Structure 1
Amino acid sequence: MTIDGWRITGQSQIDSYVGENAELAVLMVNTLVVTHAHGRRVEPPATGEERRAALAVVRPSAARLDLADADTLAAAAAVLRSLFARDARLSALNDLLIRHAAVPNLHGDPPRLAFHRLEASLGDAWIAQAGTALAMIIGVGQGRRLGSCEAGGCDLVFVDTTRNASRRFCGLSCQNRAKATAYRARRGST
């Protein structure tokens, strides 16, 4: 099994394969869909060229994407976004997996497990891999580990790998902003 509770602490272990592809889903959502990050409005890239360039900044292999694939990734990222927001549309994820032919197979030398056809475009491969990783996390009862930042003005998503699945913020800057806001609210009410 890919995700398994450890025998003594019960902490879930996400293996590197699922973790790598779940982070791909995070990258796609945060780069192509999010409109607020760290308390500021951000404009998601609007064209295939802008999307490819934005993805290439954080994942150099994105430079090989064709423009249609970049647009397809943006549409898929919108579907994946719902899984992190806890309003999981599992039927939409299932449809996405079917549409992009997420099928387990081995290819490469040495053989590596993949969830896309060998001849799949880079965009379809990324969607199949990311969608399958999220489906595996949800399918073993760990969907609560898919989170969205709780700080005001931030829509960034993350995969919670903490021991007790208690992560609430995308990073330290949002955590500090939220704590400062709560402190000012308490100080103002006394």
Structure 2
Amino acid sequence: MTGQVKLDSYTDAGVIVSIDLVNQLTAAGGHAVPAAGDELGALTRILAFDPPSLAALGADDVPGFVALARVLREVFDDLRGDDVDAAAQRLNTLLARSPAQPHLAKEEGRWRLHHHPVHAELVAMYTAICAEALARVVSAGDADRLGTCQAPDCGRVFADVSKNGSRRFCTTTCQNRVKVTAFRRRRGGAGTPPAEQPLDQRRQPR
């Protein structure tokens, strides 16, 4: 991920799904977790990029995805505290738990490398996909590119694809809100920042 990179390729799908799972299924700061019963709707949005995954998704998969999202949140929390060793150990645990069996599969005339068995169940499959993708980022020396928004009332996570790796916020809205609040505080006023806008990250089907 060194240099400016767009997270929109097949190989980046696991990073983006990890970010979506953390942001939509876990809470941190002022970021709320979906109400009970809404998790399936969140997962439907997350997996909409891949029709086969979406077709296989059912209510029975919700607890497994929520549990995966919580572990992925802990990975980002470790990285936020500059504890790459702890993050790596969590990822190793996920990789050991997942049915990771790398193999080549031909899709639309092109060979792609998969990191899960062809017939793996959905949660197990995405455990392998997400753990492998984040482990790849860490092993490339780019762990600092997996960030958590520094706005005090946010907690959303993101992948920093900027050229100089200096991103500190999930959106420009959060960045501007912090700047406005700091400016008004210096001027002796109370800032009322604008509402946060969701980050639109695209990905291609697996």
Q: Same fold (TM over 0.5)?
A: yes
Match of 2:62 in 1: 70
Using the size of structure 1 for normalisation, the TM-score is 0.82
Quote the Cα distance in structure 2 between the aligned partners of 1:170 and 1:13. Answer: 16
Bigger relative CO (Cα 8 Å, ≥ 6 apart): 2
| Maintained 8 Å contact 2:157/2:170 | yes
Match of 2:201 in 1: none
User: What percent of counterpart residues are identical?
Assistant: 37
- Find the partner of 2:40 among 42, 48, 52: 52
Match of 2:195 in 1: none
- The CA deviation at 1:105 is 1.1
Match of 1:25 in 2: 18
| Maintained 8 Å contact 2:17/2:46 | no
Q: Where do residues 1-190 of structure 1 align in structure 2 (5 Å cutoff)?
A: 5=2, 11=3, 13=5, 16-36=9-29, 40-46=30-36, 49-60=37-48, 61-62=53-54, 64-85=56-77, 86=79, 87=83, 88-109=86-107, 110=109, 111-188=111-188
Quote the Cα distance in structure 1 between the aligned partners of 2:186 and 2:100. Answer: 50
| Maintained 8 Å contact 2:99/2:116 | yes
Contiguous gaps of at least 5 residues in structure 2: 190-206
- The CA deviation at 1:119 is 1.1
Using the size of structure 2 for normalisation, the TM-score is 0.76
Quote the Cα distance in structure 2 between the aligned partners of 1:151 and 1:116. Answer: 36
The one-letter code sitting in structure 2 at the alignment partner of 1:55 is L
The one-letter code sitting in structure 2 at the alignment partner of 1:25 is S
